[in-house]
Structures are given as C-alpha cells and as structure tokens.
Structure 1
Amino acid sequence: YAPGYPDYLLKRMSKSYSVDLLLAAGLAARDGAGNLRDRFRGRVMFPVHDLAGNAVGFGGRLLEGPQAPTNVAKYVNSPDGEVYHKGTLLYNLNRAKADITRSGRAWLVEGYTDVMALHQAGVPEAVATCGTALGEDHVRLLSRFTQKLVLAFDSDEAGARAAERAYQFHERYPVEVSVLVLPDGQDPADFALSHGEGAAEALLELEGRATPLVVYMIERAIRGRDLTDVEEQSRAARAGVSIISALDDPVRRERYARVLADKVGVNVAAVLLELERAAASHDGSRASPAAPIRMPPGQRVEREVLKLLVQAPEACAGLTGRLDPEQFSRAEHRKAFELIREDGSPATGAGSLVAMAQDRSDQLGRLFAALAVEPLETLGEATPDYVQRTFLRFEEFAVKRQVDEVRKRLEKMNPLRSTLQYDDLYEEFVKLEGARRRIRAAQDAIQPGA
C-alpha cells in the first residue's frame, strides 16, 4: 500500500538513495511545478516481476480516502526505464509459467485484480499486460510456455482491440489464439466472484466456446449485415476476404475461406475466386514490412499515421483534431483519413473500419485491410512519444510541401514589377518556414529512443 502523502516514500528512501536513482526507478516523479513527490500515492500496489522473480516495477490502483490525490488516473504504472519495460512484461507470468506449461494454456486478462481473482478461484494460468496494449513481445514471451492463448475480456470492444493487435503478428509464433468475451459484461474478477468455488470449472466450460482469432475477426467484419440481401452478402464476403487475404499460410487462407462462405451463405468457390482476385490486385495486403519503404518519405509517414489511427486509436486520442485531409498528398490517403474522421470513435475496431471501407469501394477496403495488419515502423508498441513524433513528422512534410509551392511561385515572380504581391507571398513564405522550424524543434525535444 502507498499512503496518500506526497512524500511518504521520499522521506524514507532519500536518506539512502539519490534523487536521480529514485526518479530513474519510477518511485518518484516531478509534478507540473517541478516539485519532487512520490509517484504512487493513495494506492494499493501490485509488484511486477520479471521471469526470474525479480521485482522490476509496480502498478498502483487508486483507493478512495482523505489523503488520496485528486484528478489522477485510476491506475498508474512504473515508467519504462533501465529494468522495467512494460512491452516485454506480463504480470504474474513468473508464478504462472509452470502451471501454463502443465495445462497447455494461458489466460490473458486486462487487469491485476482479474489475475488475482482467477488465481484464488483455482485458475493459476492467468496473466495480464502491465497497463499497456497487447504487443508482439507479449505473444512471443507466452509462446515459450504454451501453444494456446485465450484472450478473456468483459466486452466485445476490449476483446476486439486485443484481437486486432494479436492478429497483426499471431502467425509469427506457434500459438493458437482465441477470444472469449465473458457473459453479461462481467470482467474475469466479477466472473470468479459470482461463481465462487465453481469458477474454475465454469471458466473451463466457457473456454470451449472461445472463438478462434481469425474466425472472430471475420465475424466482426460481417456483423450487422443483412445476409438475406444479395448486395450485402457480396459486401460481407469482400469484408471477410480482406481479413483472410492478410494471412501468410495458404492452407489457412483456404480453410478460413470455407468458414467465411458458410457464415455468409455463399458458395466457397466464389469466396476463393474473390480471394485470388484480392491477392492478384494488391499484394500489399500480405507484403513484407519493407513494402511501404518504396514510397517517398512523405507518403511513408502519411501511411504510418493512418496505421496508427487504425491500429492504435487510443494512443492517437487528442491528436486527430490537428490533422486535415488536405495535409495528405495522396488521394487514397485523404479518403482513408476522411473515413476515420467521419467515424470519430476510438472504440471502433480495425475490423469494423475495414468493413466500412469495403462498403465505399474495393480499393478503399483493400487499403484499410493492409493498414490494419501492416507492422508499424517501430520496434514494440506505439509509445506516446513515437505517436507524437510521427504526427509531427507528418505535419512537417505537409508544411514543407506548402513551402516548396510558395518558393516556386516566388521564383516565377519579378519583385520589381509585382512588389505588393511579391511581398505578401514572401511574408507567407517566412511564416511557413517559421512553422516548419517550430515543428522540427518539437520533434527534437522528444527523446530519440522513444
């Protein structure tokens, strides 16, 4: 437990450890005024361990009380540092790894309390991410101990976010991923409490109803369509094909084509034909991560911004409003951004966006299918600094195009014959250059490794 006093830990630890070390360890932080204070205050604490059982960080849940800080997040986690890297850590894996190996399965849940409740109910194979989205390193880590991973969540939206993240890299590791949305909107902790001593048995029974990852993605892509209507059937089939075509394994593509055909109610030959057309017309859906690199740098950054908006909408919250469709140089990128902005909800999953795009046009549907699965140009997950830096680079390229356009117009003008027009245009040029320098300075202020 971390008391609510602002310097409870500092007073005791600063006698033996330097301020710099406490800051680096994530035990202390500076507030908006630059004052040093405890990072964790008024919280119940959850130690996070590495695989060897070493405590490397903490998660803290806010508790109500007179000393509790106000206007703060419900959960606070240690910041990434020398020993704590949230993208490579799973809460409780150090304890659960033996049980996971014995049972052949791992349960991935959202929170620390979910893990504890399941463990007390007799399900010791549960782990959780440490205040971050599911990432490739998490799946890679679990693949060392099991070939079966169940994503257990309290809502379809939460399950969709995790499923879409897992879908991007699940084929790289020998893990069978499935999605289980618990009934009645219960999170795993509520489920365990409501079932009491029978929670473990009830959860294992539900495991048999968990939906394989690719099937889950297909079902989300075709959900809400009137499959008695021929046109809607066709759109549903194309939306499902956009999911399947991203798979690398041709055997799995054919298998899931049959699943899609059955769910949509069309002949499997028609789905396979559509799959062949999709593969022929856009190899980019299954292209290597290097494919977008062949684009000019400015267009690469545009595509990266779109991938972030599709794959990590929560990380982009508050930044989307800074963008304008005219800042995109490619027409298809402008259309993609307009669709994302029109939807306007970070809760909309990538699968739903792909389906919406498919309704507009096959070309836009193929673009969104690629944006949903194409790896980001960063190692690990999209950190806030990476997102901020990518958006700034995007804005810099947009301003640079304006600068280049104004410069060309200035070069064509005679300053002696068109003095007023030249002066006005030159003033615009100076303002744009100033804006570009400010954007570059903002980029430079972000740590290079972020």
Structure 2
Amino acid sequence: MTERVFLLPDLGEGLTEAEIVEWRVAVGDTVTVDQSVVEVETAKAVVDVPCPYAGTVVALHGAPGEVRPVGQPLITIAAADAAAGPRPGGAPEPAGHATYREEERAGSGNVLIGYGTGHGAGRRRRRPRLVVTPEPVGAPAAAVATVPAGAAPAAPAATAPLVISPIVRRLAREHGLDLAALAGTGPGGVVRRADVEAAVAAATPARLTAVPDGSTADADDVVIPLTGVRKAIADKLSRSRREIPEVTIWVDVDATALLETRAAINAARPGQPVSILALLARICLSGLRRYPQLNARVDTEGQRIVQSAGVHLGIAAQTDRGLLVPVVRDAQRLTTAELAAVLAETTTEARAGTLPPARLTGGTFTLNNYGVFGVDGSTPIINHPEAALLGVGRIVDKPWVVDGQLAVRKVTQLSLTFDHRVCDGGVAGGFLRHVADCVEQPALLIAAV
C-alpha cells in the first residue's frame, strides 16, 4: 500500500486558487478513479473535482470555506499498487492540468459540457465535470507526492510555522500576526485560514482601542471576505474604470411596437417563446453589423484596436454569487428562435452556478437588462476588455406624443456606454439611434437583413 497526495490541479483560465465549498467524501471512505471528491469555487465557476486514484481516503487537506492554491495538497489516498497504477487505456494519470470537455452544437454556437455521473450523481443541480488529464511529456514533475504508508512527514524547521497556503501568509501579514505563535488545526498542525481569522477576531477589541483610524472593523460590523467571484468582479470593474475612457449616451424610446411584435410571434409559434431580451439581442446584432467598431477591444500592449469577426454576446445576469456575464459565442449565426432558447438556457445555468469558466469569458459586446430591478436608467461599467455595453431600463406606461396627439405608450430608456478610444460620438450615436429605431419600428429589422 502507498499513499498518494492529489494536489489541486490547474483549473485553467489563469486561475491560481479555489475555495473549498463541500467535501464529497470523508476520511475512511473508499473512492474510485474519476470519482468526484470535492466541490470548489473559483473566480469563474463552481466545479466538482474528480480524483485520479482509487483507494481509501487518508486525509482531507482543507475545510469548507478555506482557499487552496493550485498545486497544494487536496486529498491523500491510500491505494494498492494495482489501484494506483495505469488507468483504463494503459496511460497513468497523475494530477495535472484540468480541462473541460466541450463540443460545439452544430449550427447553434452553444457549448455542451460533459457531466460526471460518479459520486454525488442524482443531485438536484448538475455541475460541469472537471476532467483531469496527464501532463504532456517533458512537462515539469507531476503534481503528485508519494509517501510510503506509515512514514511520518518531514518535520518543519523549529523556527518555521507549518503553513502551506500563501493566502494564509498574506492574511497574517496584513493583520500583523506572528504565524509561529499560532497553533494550526489543519492536518499535521498546518496553520489554516480559519486559524488566522480566529486570531484576528480574538485581537479585534485591543486593535480597535489602539488603532481608531478606520482601518479595522468595528466589533459589530459584518466582515465579508473579498474572495471568489466577488473578488474577480471587483478586480475586473476596477481595471475597467482605470483603463477605459468611457462615455455614456442614452435615449428614451417607444417600445409599444416591440411588445406587440413579441406577442404576435409567440401567438404564431406556441411552445417556442421569444423573450424581449432575445429581440433586443437581435436588434443589437443588427446594429453591430452596421457599426462593427463597437464589437472590438483595445490591445494596449500592441497599441491597436481589434475588431472581432464574430459577435460573442455577453448577457449580464444577477446571481446569488454576484453579477456574471455568460457569453453566447457567434450569436450572429443564430436565428431569433435559437437565440431566445440559448439565452434562456444560459441565464438559467448562470443562476444555478453550473456554467464552466470558458462560458464566462471572451465576450465582445454586452447587453444588460437592468430594467428587471425596477430602474429606468444607468451608466454601467464596461465589461473589460470589451468596447461597449447596451443597457435597457424598465418598460413603463408614459405619456408620449404620437402623430401630434398625446397618448399613453410603453416607454423604456436605452443607454450605450462605449470606449471613446475605439470610436467617436458619430459611430456611438449612430448605433444607439439604429437600436432605438428598431425598437420603435421592428419592421426595420427585416429591412436591415
């Protein structure tokens, strides 16, 4: 029997850490190859991580809520030599680079994800299956530590605290804590994030008295760590504001005809409902065909503007985990009915937390329907590194002049926030006016095809 330590694999998309959400197994459990052992949350999505080894669980490295860096121990398995050997197919499978199984649905541009059916199958929500693949030949040493059964780990230096996570070191440094003075509660005495936070909490009253400068939390304040998706959102929005000279323009439009058009479409095609969001997306695609300058990004290092050949449409979606922007790739290839179906599916998966990281990046233009929050207008922040974002307010009854007569119409406000580096007001105004005209006269969409 040997013990194998499975390290947290590279989760792709430049991710360097993940927070443990829930362990699927416990010490003493028997696991099989590719069985999901833990659910983790990255800055992009929540995923199940399968273990490439079969055997008995000896140790779980980290508790729920703890952040683990990529390449650090995740789970230790006591495996028989045969069980720890080659996987089916003959090739050994050490912990290495993690990828998602993806394939394009012909003609739709939608991405299908392969889902695991191992431990935890039958759960109410399906999650993307993380497939661990071996490192290529010539890659650095495999991310697996082999420890003979019964052998004690090497003792750390007497003056050095037993700390694995750089997150723990950073937290301790920020709060002025001496790690060597903390008693670790992790496996083998490892100092965990929870240990540091407990020490910070214990020292809070004294700190509040000694440093009343607002840099520490009040005793009754609710402190929410800026981690995971929320941290990624904060970093991206901050970068957008730092780098992009953005401008917002807006216009009020009569959406009565758009609502009537939607009702007529849905009455003619029962069972295939088309949402207002889908019609607005179709109008945006028409506008981007006329004004491709807005379907672009600025490459600051190369000092150039890159206009995308396809429209990878981002849809802002509010979820329990924060504001996410799932992307529908090559949206211009979809029919209105296909677009409606994909948007409904995508937003549902985003709110359920089942979208993989690849579906949350790579957008070229974003549509944000903030009207669902009951507001009329907004000056949204551009989704970096995109160049523009169209916002839509709520649709409400308002007095409106029609053919010289005052009438009650369904009115909404459209706002366009754009990167002034990619175009001037003429292009941005032309795009927004085209969108507004199509909302007021949907027949113009047919003329623009």
- Shared fold, TM over 0.5: no
TM-score range, shorter chain: under 0.3
Higher relative contact order (CA 8 A, sep 6+): 2
Bigger CA radius of gyration? 2
The structure whose residues are more often strand, as a share, is 2
